Structures are given as structure tokens and as C-alpha cells.
């Protein structure tokens, strides 16, 4: 996971693109399940992507590192995915409390799409309450048609051998909102028709990061690793200032492999990986266009978990 996923480095978790209305409805059901069961947190996830998240009153927001640890804990244990039942396990969430465990109720709602439900409780005796809350959530979400829609929006997967190009079945339109091809001009275009290859945007206040689907050069496991290394290099350039107390606001690196450009402000960090022939003025224009695009709350609402207004 860490070799091909830069979200851990950015200190952010990845939201799954979901229509804002559906995410809001799922979040409300999750909140009701948390209240009814006495849990402290509730999450609906698809592999390492967060679909929705709720928390009990007076609980702090989960730290992104804790979300990533939880996702890694669940997805790396095939027994949870293929056990055809419910699991209850202690988990350490170090940013929440490094000296104690929370108890995670885990149930896969759909193993094929990687959709699973998690309730976190402070009690080791809470299994039956958590199980009942999950059953209620599943019934309500099914009755509203939410589960079928969530199952259809499964996250992309990297599979195959080290040199294989990944072939994917056609993705639902909602997942394509992040693709470079579907971005407005001058950002968007088919591969080879735009200098932009891949991008990531980290929303600083929300502690979430979105990533474009990989271009053809990054669809194999080695390609995904190269892309993650590019984001790592950009992050290092942007967050390792030459002078103490004077953080970099812009990073630029050009090589025969790619042009990397990144910028940060109070709202977001933007990372772009471009064609190696991209000149600096073009890259900076793309950077500015990307910031304007994802400053639109209506656009962000379909790709990230918005905080309550």
C-alpha cells in the first residue's frame, strides 16, 4: 500500500468520489448508528477510501493517520473480507489514544467492491449493540437505494504482475470526475493532448487528499510506484524550506522523465506531474487553473467529505 499510495505522506485520507446527496444521506444513517450503539466513530469505507464518516458528540475528528492505519488493518486481513461474517477486534488508534485500544466492529457489506462498515467503540462488551446498529444501517441504506449505488462506485485497483498494464472495466461516471480527461480546459484532455499527466490536491482544513486516476504511463504497479515517488519528491521540495521559518509556497522540478510542480496556500496543496516538455509558464498556468477548479464548493462536494456548514 505505502509503495504506491502517497496519501500517508500528505497526512490525509482519501475520500471516494460520491454524489454529495448520497454521501450526506449515508452520513446521517451512520450518525444514527453511532448514537444507537454508543460507538464513538462510524465509517463506511471502500478499500482504503472513505465513503462517509460520523462521530459521537464531543469526540475529536479522527486523525488521517489513524484512518489509514484502520484501512490498512482491515484490507490486509483477508479473513475480514472473505469470512462472510462479523468481526470484532481491538485496534490501536495512536492519535486518538496511544495508551489504550478501541474495539472495531467490522463487516463487509460487499466483498467484491471492497465496501465495508466499521463502528469503533470504547467497550469490549459492545459487540451486540454494534451488530444491531449495523443491521439497522444496512436495512435503511438498502431501502433508500444507497447500498446498490455505493457498490457500483468501487475504487480503482492495481492488479497484475510487475510489468502488466492494468486493464479496468469501465468505471461509473462518478469516479471519472477526477480524471484528467474530464477536467475543463486548459487542464483537461486526452493523454497526449494535454501536458498534465496526474495530479493530487490536499485540502488542508479537511485533511483529505484526492488523486486523479492514473494515466497510461502509471497504470502498472511499477508505474504507480514511480508516480508515488514523484509526489514524494514534490512534497519534500515543498515542505523542506531552505530557510527556517520561511516555508516554500512553490516547488518546481524538471527532468527527462517528468516536470513536477507544486504549490500550497491556506486552503490546499496542489501537486502536478506533467509531460517533460512542459515549460514553466505552462505548468504554473495549470497550477493556477487547478486551484481555481477545486475552490468551487459544488465540485468539492462530490469528491470529498465536506464539514458541516
65-92 residue pLDDT tens: 999 999 999 998 888 888 778 999 999 9
Write down the pLDDT at residue 219: 85
Residues 6+ apart with CB under 8 A from 38: 56, 121, 123, 126, 129
- Average pLDDT value for residue range 35-52: 95
- Average pLDDT value for residue range 39-60: 95
pTM of the predicted structure, to 2 decimals: 0.88
Calpha distance 97→94 (Å, rounded): 5
- Confidence class of residue 106 from pLDDT cuts 50, 70 and 90? very high
Q: Which residue is it, cell 446498529?
A: 133
6-15, 140-149, 296-305, range with the lowest pLDDT? 6-15
- Confidence class of residue 164 from pLDDT cuts 50, 70 and 90? very low
Write down the pLDDT at residue 78: 86
Question: Which residue spans within the chain are E strands per DSSP?
Answer: 14-15, 41-46, 49-55, 86-91, 102-110, 115-121, 196-203, 208-211, 250-254, 259-264, 268-274
The domains found in the chain, sorted by start residue, are 18-152 (3.30.450.30), 173-300 (3.30.450.30)
187-244 residue pLDDT tens: 888 888 899 999 999 999 999 999 998 888 888 888 888 998 999 899 888 887 665 6
Write down the pLDDT at residue 168: 43
* Side-chain half-sphere exposure of 300, counting CA atoms within 13 A: 21
Amino acid at each position: 500500500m505505502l509503495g504506491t499510495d502517497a496519501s500517508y505522506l500528505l497526512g490525509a485520507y482519501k475520500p471516494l468520489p460520491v454524489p454529495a446527496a448520497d454521501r450526506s444521506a449515508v452520513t446521517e444513517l451512520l450518525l444514527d448508528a453511532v448514537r444507537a450503539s454508543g460507538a464513538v466513530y462510524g465509517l463506511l469505507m471502500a478499500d482504503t477510501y472513505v465513503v462517509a464518516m460520523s462521530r459521537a458528540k464531543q469526540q475529536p475528528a479522527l486523525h488521517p493517520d489513524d484512518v489509514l492505519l484502520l484501512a490498512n488493518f482491515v484490507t490486509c486481513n483477508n479473513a475480514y473480507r472473505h469470512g462472510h461474517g462479523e468481526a470484532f477486534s481491538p485496534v490501536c488508534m495512536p492519535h486518538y489514544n496511544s495508551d489504550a485500544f478501541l474495539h472495531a466492529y467490522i463487516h463487509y457489506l460487499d466483498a467484491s467492491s471492497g465496501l465495508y462498515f466499521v463502528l469503533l467503540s470504547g467497550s469490549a462488551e459492545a459487540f451486540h449493540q454494534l451488530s444491531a446498529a449495523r443491521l439497522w444501517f444496512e436495512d435503511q441504506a438498502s431501502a433508500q437505494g444507497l447500498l446498490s449505488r455505493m457498490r457500483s462506485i468501487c475504487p480503482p485497483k492495481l492488479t497484475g504482475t510487475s510489468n502488466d498494464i492494468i486493464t479496468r472495466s469501465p468505471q461509473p461516471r462518478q469516479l471519472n470526475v477526477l480524471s484528467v480527461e474530464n477536467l475543463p480546459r486548459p487542464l483537461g484532455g486526452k493523454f497526449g493532448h494535454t501536458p498534465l499527466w496526474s495530479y493530487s490536491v490536499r485540502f488542508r482544513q479537511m485533511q483529505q487528499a484526492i488523486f486523479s486516476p492514473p494515466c497510461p504511463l502509471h497504470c502498472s504497479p511499477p508505474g504507480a510506484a514511480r508516480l508515488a515517488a514523484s509526489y514524494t519528491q514534490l512534497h519534500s521540495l515543498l515542505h523542506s524550506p531552505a530557510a527556517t521559518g520561511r516555508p516554500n509556497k512553490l516547488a518546481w522540478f524538471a527532468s527527462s522523465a517528468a516536470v513536477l510542480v507544486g504549490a500550497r496556500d491556506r486552503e490546499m496543496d496542489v501537486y502536478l506531474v506533467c509531460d517533460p516538455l512542459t515549460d514553466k509558464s505552462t505548468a504554473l498556468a495549470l497550477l493556477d487553473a487547478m486551484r481555481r477548479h477545486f475552490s468551487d464548493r459544488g465540485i468539492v462536494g462530490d469528491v470529498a467529505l465536506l464539514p458541516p456548514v
